Amino acid sequence: MIVLLLVLVAVVTAVALGRGTGTYPRHPRTATGPPGASAPRGPGAPFRVVAAVAGGAAALLYVWGALCVGSAVMEAEDGGAGSSPMRPCRTGVAPEVSGRVVDYSVSYLPLRFRCETGDGDGYASADVPGYVNPGAAVLALTAVASAVAAGCATELRARAERRPVTGHSNGPGDPV
């Protein structure tokens, strides 16, 4: 499964980096500019790139965690020899604790596979890596913050362009 995650990350990285490595023309023609002139980049463009990459990484990490949860559910539902206690509930705990497991519960927000014991207590299975939930949350918040910053940068540029020119600059040499 780790190989699958690495392949997915490699593909997303290649697509994200490929946009600036010759896949698209470096100097597209603009309708108003001379041939070979590059189009002006918007003020929020770097923030939009960060938002897109962070959002994609958050989605990939969440999908990875959902695959781990789904795999744990499939193992738990698999009957037959060696199915008691449930396989996902055996890892990371003492055998006497896993022997008391009677059921499990699944949560998709946050991603969790919880093994429940007969006395009403329970513990989280080690089948879902501990970095998935905090990593996805940090990446998602980064994507949202970057998207907001891109919007603010674009709005500030638009307001600056609409601001009337008054002729009073109060620069060096101007009367106060």
d(CA 12, CA 31): 32
- Counting Cβ atoms within 10 Å, is residue 63 exposed (0-12), middle (13-18) or buried (19+)? middle
Please report the pLDDT score of residue 13 as a whole number: 63
Which tens digit of pLDDT belongs to each residue from 27-50? 555 555 555 555 556 777 888 888
> What is the rounded radius of gyration, in angstroms, for the C-alpha atoms of the chain?
27
d(CA 176, CA 174): 6
Please report the pLDDT score of residue 23 as a whole number: 43
Please report the pLDDT score of residue 22 as a whole number: 46
Closest CA to 122 of 114, 111, 133: 114
Q: Report the mean per-residue pLDDT for the chain.
A: 77
Mean pLDDT in each 10-residue stretch from start to end of the chain (176 residues)?
58 57 48 56 82 92 94 84 77 80 88 88 87 93 91 85 69 56
Helix (H, G, I), strand (E, B) or coil at 8: helix
- The pTM assigned to this predicted structure is 0.67
Report phi then psi at 18, rounded to 5.
-65, -20
Please report the pLDDT score of residue 24 as a whole number: 46
